[in-house]
Amino acid sequence: MKSYSILIKGSGSCIPDRIIPNSEFETGEFYSSSGEKIQDPPETTIRKFEKITGIKERRWLENSQVTSDLGTIAAERAIRMAGIDPEKIGYILCAQNFGDIKAGSNRADLIPSVASRIKHNLGIRNPYCFAFDINFGCPAWILGLSLAKTWLDSQQEETYALVIGVETLSRVIDPFDRDRMIFSDGAGAVILEKAETGTHRFGILAELTRTDTADHNLLLKMGKSNNPNADPEDLFVKMEGPKLYEYALNLVPPSIFQVVNKAGLKLEDIRMVLIHQANEKMIDAMIKRLFQLNQNQQTPPDFVPKVLSWLGNNAVASVPTLFDLINRKKLEGYSFLPGDKIVFAAVGSGMSISALVYQIPE
């Protein structure tokens, strides 16, 4: 009996060229969520921000670009690495949250879907290649891998799935909110294939997703500017930082632990955790909690790669971008070896968590 696995055949990413250092915010005017002007000098606010988040700079897209442009670039690179005919792609899933937002606006444009625009940009004419978006916050790309796996498992003929994560948060951040310094733009993508692997298990081994709406639904939401004089019709990304931190710390580590067990593995079998790049302090705390669940074992070296310091938090794009950087050996000190078992994990609006175990083919 033939045995199949769902494998990543190629990856790509788009990291915008436009670098925004923290010093760019020194002329900023910040307000609290209650509408009070923050009296601390911007330099003090920036120094505190950098100490907590680890972010020194971030990447924003050019004024001439929109979300689907970044997604297209990442997709083209993934297709090129995979070495496939784009017409053989039967499934395009784009994980994103705001559509194509033009420079100077924060109005979401979601029709047609970003996935449809990317399919058009790629020049794919195959009418049976269906393209759609999912809005699931930062874990959406990982959930997208799970959905693509289900579809590929059902296919009998040669075909491929393209899963993209793309975000242009610089267009939906409040210029008067300190949190604007967290967010960035970017895109990552992978080509998935259904491959015969005999008696060996490779590729996607286990998946887990949860959504906790009862008590945590509005920790991340859209809201008006902190500046009481701003247009109240304009909506921006808003988050309750301390409560979000608590949610992530309490529920992400056990979710990772659970999905590793679901794969029939132990934490010590895992080579790396590629976790959503949200906040350096939060990442460190979650990984410490994870190993407390594993009888307080020490975190192995190079267990959690980080790119926050220079990429910032590009939300749904962070995990696929991180994967592509390592896959292409472009992140110093990190590379994938045949047989490596890695975990993808992210937390975001909803509040939701997705985690997935993937084994690099030998």
Q: Which residue has the tokens 């690179």?
A: 77
Q: Which residue spans of the chain are classified as CATH 3.40.47.10?
A: 4-196, 203-359
pTM beyond 0.75: the answer is: yes
Using CA atoms, how far apart are residues 313 and 142, in angstroms rounded to an integer?
16
- The proportion of the chain whose per-residue pLDDT surpasses 70, expressed as a percent, equals 99
Q: What is the pLDDT of residue 345?
A: 97
pLDDT digits (tens, 9 = 90+) for 200-238: 789 999 999 999 998 888 888 889 999 998 888 889 888
Q: What is the pLDDT of residue 296?
A: 67
Using CA atoms, how far apart are residues 259 and 273, in angstroms rounded to an integer?
12
* CATH 1.10.10.10 matches 4-196: no
**Can you list the positions of beta strands (E) in the chain?**
4-14, 18-21, 57-60, 89-95, 130-134, 160-168, 185-196, 203-211, 220-223, 236-239, 272-275, 341-348, 352-359
Nearest residue to 137 via CA among 66, 211, 208: 211
Q: Are 169 and 142 in contact (CB under 8 A)?
A: no
pLDDT digits (tens, 9 = 90+) for 28-77: 888 998 888 988 888 888 888 899 899 999 999 999 999 999 999 999 99
Nearest residue to 340 via CA among 327, 325, 328: 327
Q: What is the pLDDT of residue 3?
A: 80
For residue 1, pLDDT beyond 70 = no
Using CA atoms, how far apart are residues 146 and 140, in angstroms rounded to an integer?
10
Using CA atoms, how far apart are residues 291 and 181, in angstroms rounded to an integer?
30
Strand, helix or coil at 33? coil
Nearest residue to 331 via CA among 342, 318, 322: 322
Query: Could you please report the per-residue DSSP string of 207-249?
Result: EEEEE-HHHHTTSEEEE--SSTTS-TT--EEEE-HHHHHHHHH
Strand, helix or coil at 164? strand
Q: What are phi and psi of 261, to 5 degrees?
A: -65, -40
- The DSSP 8-state label assigned to residue 165 in this structure reads E
Using CA atoms, how far apart are residues 11 and 242, in angstroms rounded to an integer?
34
- The proportion of the chain whose per-residue pLDDT surpasses 90, expressed as a percent, equals 73
Neighbours of 43 (CB within 10 A): 12
Question: How would residue 302 be classed by pLDDT, with cut points 50, 70 and 90?
Answer: confident
For residue 297, pLDDT beyond 80 = no
- CATH of segment(s) 203-359: 3.40.47.10
